[in-house]
Amino acid sequence: MIRDNENNAPKALLLMAHGSRAEVANNEFLATVEKVKIVTPGYDYIGGIFLELSAPLLVDESAKLYEKGFRSIDLYPVFFNQGRHVSRDIPNQIEKAVKACDGLTIQLLPYFGSNDELPTLISQHIQNSSRR
């Protein structure tokens, strides 16, 4: 397990997508989060949240985790580029969530699109799709 070194509290990982008014889109993301749980060891909790348009939101989910004893959260934005949401909106939401829960830390991990392996993954997906 990944533990917060300072107080040995459990540690959580939250994956954040934009969110949609279309329930099917949100459910698709949450299903992906369930698959990520299977292949991502070390966290006491892994969950999916949304930036906007759908629940759960960061401030609500982090408060629930805080009530359960979590004091450290890694936040992974599943966004392709560093637009307004990644550079401004997500940090603003982190600030609000941390202010609401004394002693909570939220570490913003690099967003999905910054992964150097992404072009290879896209290329492999295209090649596999074109063979169908």
* pLDDT at residue 92 greater than cutoff 50: yes
Residues 48-75 pLDDT 10s: 999 999 999 999 999 999 999 999 999 9
Assess whether pLDDT exceeds 50 at residue 16: yes
Enumerate the domain spans of the chain.
11-130
d(CA 17, CA 112): 10
Q: What is the pLDDT of residue 131?
A: 72
| Distance of alpha carbon 73 from alpha carbon 31, whole angstroms | 21
pLDDT of residue 6: 56
What is the token pair recorded at 102?
């004394």
Report the pLDDT value the prediction gives residue 130, as an integer from 0 to 100: 85
User: Does 18 have pLDDT greater than 80?
Assistant: yes
Name which residue leads in pLDDT, 1 or 85: 85
The three-class DSSP label of residue 108 is strand
* Per-residue model confidence (pLDDT) at position 8: 75
The CATH number given to 11-130 is: 3.40.50.1400
> How much is the pLDDT for 1?
47
CB contact set of 34 (below 8 Å; sequence gap of 6+) = none
* Confidence at residue 19, expressed as pLDDT on a 0 to 100 scale: 97
pTM greater than the 0.85 cutoff: yes
113-120 mean pLDDT: 97
Question: What would the pLDDT profile of 35-49 be if each residue is shown by its tens digit?
Answer: 999 999 999 999 999
